[in-house]
């Protein structure tokens, strides 16, 4: 099928030959000289688009095996978090690491090596993956793990689909005793308070800060921190998913000018002002996946879409660097409402995004000056030896990327790509020279 596709940011659109195989045999038949796998299309930029051949994994969505006693599950790569939760929660299990949406495939989680609100405790998804099966450029099925084809295993996780078509994954789940979490919400008046609160929250498994990007100088970095632990006593039941609001048609009619800097500034100020510190209990769906309550919420930014930007900041001098980034955003008035700060526990030695320190996430409308400002922020990230998360990226230059995420230029990874004759590539990989 030849059609126009985009990332979740909806700011980059390409026509692609997209195929929908149901099994391995069909994948092999559909693979062409250059191709890339695509799950649910929730990477924000151009990482899951290949004009020549985009292989959708959506019909490969089965649970292969599930050891309910030990919490070991093997699934096909196209299965969504949404479907998976309906299988595992009622059995007393949860994902060890989860992104902020249920509409993400396991294959996408692997390719992006996702991290959640608990990185400071458990790290990224890679830590729980036991085995992968993928189809290489010779159409062979390869099995890899920490003991078998170790390099392929390490470069597939976080490799943005550039090592092959992921068919299946076996991984370890997290044991839970309830569908509910004990949550504490804390209001902080500046960046120092925010970082102090985050650093003193080690007893909490899940910890995330919403940042007010419109705050004035004295209150730069003010935040609403949400931290939570699963309730230890109780019983798990069927996964409850709250009813979704479908604003797709209305949002498609909204011009890009609607989400302007003045409205977003106002939303930030109101959200912080009316938020209070409190303690309560909250269900899985509401806590982990709040944006899923609105179908196609990305359409709120209008036809031009938006830019999602995520960087990591190393632990050293993190306060001054985070403050500098927030000051830059404030000065240039490129306000973001979806603005998140999280703690990260350790640096992955391979090509993963994870790094000891902090990670910042922003969703920016397409302001006239946003690309120039983000180029400047890239420079700050480089100076602090941070990283850029490719799952969110749609605009970093090749030169800057090589300077920042240079692990993608490691001899072993580039040698693997040359062996494949760059069979697997995407708009993003070509843009970045990977």
Mind listing the pLDDT tens digit for each residue in 112-161? Answer: 999 999 999 999 999 999 999 999 999 999 999 999 999 999 999 999 99
Element (H, E) at 404: helix 398-404
Same domain, 114 and 102: yes
**pLDDT, position 256:** 57
pTM, two decimals, is 0.95
Could you read off the pLDDT of 276-294 as tens digits, one per residue? 999 999 999 999 999 998 8
Residue 16 in this model has a pLDDT that exceeds 80 = yes
The boundaries of the domain holding residue 97 are 63-176
Residue 69 CB contacts under 8 Å (≥ 6 apart), including other chains: none
CA 197 from centre of chain? 24
Residue 384 lies in a domain: yes
Instruction: Compute the average pLDDT of residues 259-274.
Output: 92
Q: How would residue 52 be classed by pLDDT, with cut points 50, 70 and 90? A: very high
Same domain, 111 and 191: no
Last residue of a domain, one of 176, 204, 227: 176
Alpha helices in 184-332 (DSSP H): 191-199, 248-252, 261-274, 284-288, 318-332
Same domain, 261 and 164: no
Q: How would residue 20 be classed by pLDDT, with cut points 50, 70 and 90? A: very high
Q: Give the per-residue SS3 of 151-189.
A: HHHHHHCCCCCCCCEEEEEEEECEECCCCEEEEEEEEEC
Same domain, 260 and 377: yes
Q: Helix crossing, 191-199 with 318-332: angle to 10°? A: 140
Residue 8 lies in a domain: no
**pLDDT, position 166:** 98
**pLDDT, position 410:** 83
Residue 434 lies in a domain: no
Same domain, 190 and 172: no
> Whose CA is closest to 325, among 372, 373, 266?
373
Residue 405 lies in a domain: no
Same domain, 141 and 197: no
Q: How many domains does the chain have?
A: 2
Percent of the chain with pLDDT over 70: 97
Last residue of a domain, one of 157, 176, 195: 176
Same domain, 185 and 168: no
Residue 28 lies in a domain: no
Last residue of a domain, one of 131, 146, 176: 176
354 vs 77, more confident: 77
Do 169 and 128 touch, CB atoms closer than 8 A? no
Instruction: Compute the average pLDDT of residues 298-308.
Output: 90
Same domain, 331 and 297: yes
**pLDDT, position 361:** 98
Pick the range with the lowest mean pLDDT from 74-83, 150-159, 404-413. 404-413
Same domain, 198 and 153: no
- Work out the mean pLDDT of the chain and round it to a whole number: 93
Same domain, 201 and 245: yes
Pick the range with the lowest mean pLDDT from 167-171, 216-220, 248-252, 397-401. 248-252
Residue 30 lies in a domain: no
Do 96 and 230 touch, CB atoms closer than 8 A? no
CATH number, residue 122 = 3.30.465.10
Residue 236 lies in a domain: yes
Distance (Å, whole) CA 303 – CA 308: 15
**pLDDT, position 254:** 60
Could you read off the pLDDT of 314-355 as tens digits, one per residue? 988 899 999 999 999 999 999 999 999 999 988 777 788 988
Same domain, 165 and 209: no
Residue 418 lies in a domain: no
CATH number, residue 249 = 3.40.462
**pLDDT, position 292:** 92
Q: How would residue 223 be classed by pLDDT, with cut points 50, 70 and 90? A: very high
Same domain, 75 and 218: no
């Amino acid at each position: 099928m030849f059609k126009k596709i985009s990332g979740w940011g909806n700011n980059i659109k390409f026509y692609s030959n997209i195929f929908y195989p149901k099994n391995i045999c069909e994948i092999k038949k559909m693979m062409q000289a250059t191709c890339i796998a695509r799950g649910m299309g929730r990477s924000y930029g151009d990482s899951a688009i290949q004009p020549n051949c985009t292989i959708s994994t959506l019909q490969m969505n089965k649970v292969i095996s599930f050891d309910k006693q030990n919490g070991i599950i093997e699934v096909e790569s196209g299965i969504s978090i949404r479907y998976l939760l309906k299988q595992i929660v009622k059995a007393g299990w949860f994902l060890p690491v989860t992104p902020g949406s249920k509409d993400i495939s396991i294959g996408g989680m692997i390719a992006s090596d996702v991290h959640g609100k608990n990185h400071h405790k458990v790290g990224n998804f890679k830590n729980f993956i036991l085995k992968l099966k993928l189809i290489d450029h010779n159409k062979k099925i390869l099995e890899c793990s920490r003991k078998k084809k170790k390099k392929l295993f390490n470069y597939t996780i976080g490799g943005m689909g550039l090592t092959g078509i992921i068919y299946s994954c076996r991984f370890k789940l997290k044991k839970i005793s309830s569908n509910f979490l004990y949550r504490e919400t804390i209001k902080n008046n500046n960046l120092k308070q925010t970082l102090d609160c985050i650093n003193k929250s080690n007893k909490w498994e899940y910890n995330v800060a919403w940042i007010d990007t419109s705050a004035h100088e004295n209150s730069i970095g003010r935040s609403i921190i949400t931290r939570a632990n699963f309730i230890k006593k109780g019983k798990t039941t069927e996964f409850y998913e709250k009813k979704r609001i479908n604003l797709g048609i209305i949002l498609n009619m909204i011009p890009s000018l609607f989400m302007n800097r003045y409205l977003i500034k106002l939303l930030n100020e109101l959200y912080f002002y009316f938020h209070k510190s409190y303690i309560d209990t909250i269900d899985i769906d509401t806590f982990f996946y709040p944006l899923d309550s609105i179908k196609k919420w990305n359409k709120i930014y209008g036809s031009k879409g938006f830019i999602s930007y995520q960087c990591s900041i190393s632990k050293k001098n993190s306060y001054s660097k985070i403050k500098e980034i927030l000051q830059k955003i404030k000065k240039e008035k490129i306000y973001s409402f979806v603005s998140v700060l999280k703690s990260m526990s350790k640096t992955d030695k391979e090509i993963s995004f994870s790094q000891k320190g902090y990670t910042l996430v922003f969703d920016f409308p397409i302001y006239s000056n946003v690309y120039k400002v983000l180029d400047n922020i890239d420079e700050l990230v480089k100076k602090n030896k941070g990283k850029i998360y490719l799952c969110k990226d749609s605009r970093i230059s090749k030169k800057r990327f090589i300077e920042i995420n240079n692990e993608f230029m490691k001899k072993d990874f580039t040698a693997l790509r040359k062996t494949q004759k760059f069979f697997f590539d995407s708009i993003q990989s070509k843009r970045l020279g990977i």
